[in-house]
Structure 1
Amino acid sequence: MGYYTTVDGAIRIEPPLKWAEFKDSPFYETETSGKRDVRLKVDEEIVDTDEGQMIRKTASALEGSWEGGYKAYHLLEHVQEVIEAFPGHTFTGRLDCEGEEAADVWRVVVRDGVAVKVEPRIVWPDEDEAGERDDD
């Protein structure tokens, strides 16, 4: 069974990766690639050439590997693997994550080339820092 997490959002890659950079990456989903907790979002563009039409593929972002919830146990380390695999590119944006348990929400962001897990601070608006209610 296992614990499922829903992953939404994207981490943009600037400049986008060219085909030669990512075609053999385990984060580029093909039938033979290994399963990872993130995948490269691949854009396809049809380009006219002297020899005919060509399909140009670039990878412009990282996104969750599956639609809906999945076992994203290695999400943070897989994002870091992608960052390290493609030096010279900038990674911006975030992946918003929500687990099965109430209040299990967090994000993955990239700060100075490092994938970081960010958890929210939940504060009740009617309490001060000492935990006393304003109307007591």
Structure 2
Amino acid sequence: MGYITHVRGEFVIEPPLTWNEIKASPFEPVGRGKYGIVELDLGLRVEEASVDTDEGTLVRRTGTALVMREIDEYRARGLVEQVQRCIDLFPGHTFTGRLECEGEENTDIWRVVIREGRAVKVEPRIVWPDEDGAQ
């Protein structure tokens, strides 16, 4: 047991990743870990679409988003680095969105966003409103 961080959100990938990019990636599709062991906290959301061809029905798989895996006691160590690793792994694709992170303490809130191709941790600024102009 240790300090837990809850993470929600996603990064949408445009254009979506092809199956060749997905299957060669360490960011295995969510829910499909090899032998039940997954090394990374983030995974790819894979969508499937059936396409009729002259040879029959083809199932096309594309990676549409980078998302958090379901982890019971997540500690958020290395989260920003993992997002950056995925961005670097897929040049020519744009990642948009954010991950909202909230720790056990009520002041521990932050986000992972992407600015100019770099994953960045952003912490909020808390500002007290002026009380009738008095300081």
2:64 to 60, 65, 74: 60
RMSD over aligned CA atoms reads 1.9
Which position in structure 2 is the counterpart of 1:10?
10
Q: Could you tell me how far apart the structure 1 residues matched to 2:113 and 2:119 are?
A: 6
Q: Which amino acid aligns with 1:2?
A: G
| Misfit runs of 4+, over 6 Å | none
What is the number of residues matched between the two proteins? 131
Q: CA deviation at 1:135?
A: 5.0
Which position in structure 1 is the counterpart of 2:54?
50
Q: CA deviation at 1:38?
A: 1.3
Q: Which amino acid aligns with 2:26?
A: P
Which position in structure 2 is the counterpart of 1:130?
none
Look up the SS of the partner of 2:63 in the other structure: strand
Q: CA deviation at 1:35?
A: 2.3
Which position in structure 2 is the counterpart of 1:39?
43
Q: CA deviation at 1:85?
A: 0.3
Q: CA contact under 8 A between 1:7 and 1:69: conserved in structure 2?
A: no
Q: CA contact under 8 A between 1:13 and 1:89: conserved in structure 2?
A: yes
- Ranges in structure 1 where 5+ consecutive residues have no aligned partner: 128-132
For 1:1-136, list aligned pairs within 5 A: 1-29=1-29, 30-32=32-34, 34-66=38-70, 70-126=74-130, 134=133
- Ranges in structure 2 where 5+ consecutive residues have no aligned partner: none
Matched-pair identity in %: 56
TM-score normalized by the length of structure 1: 0.86
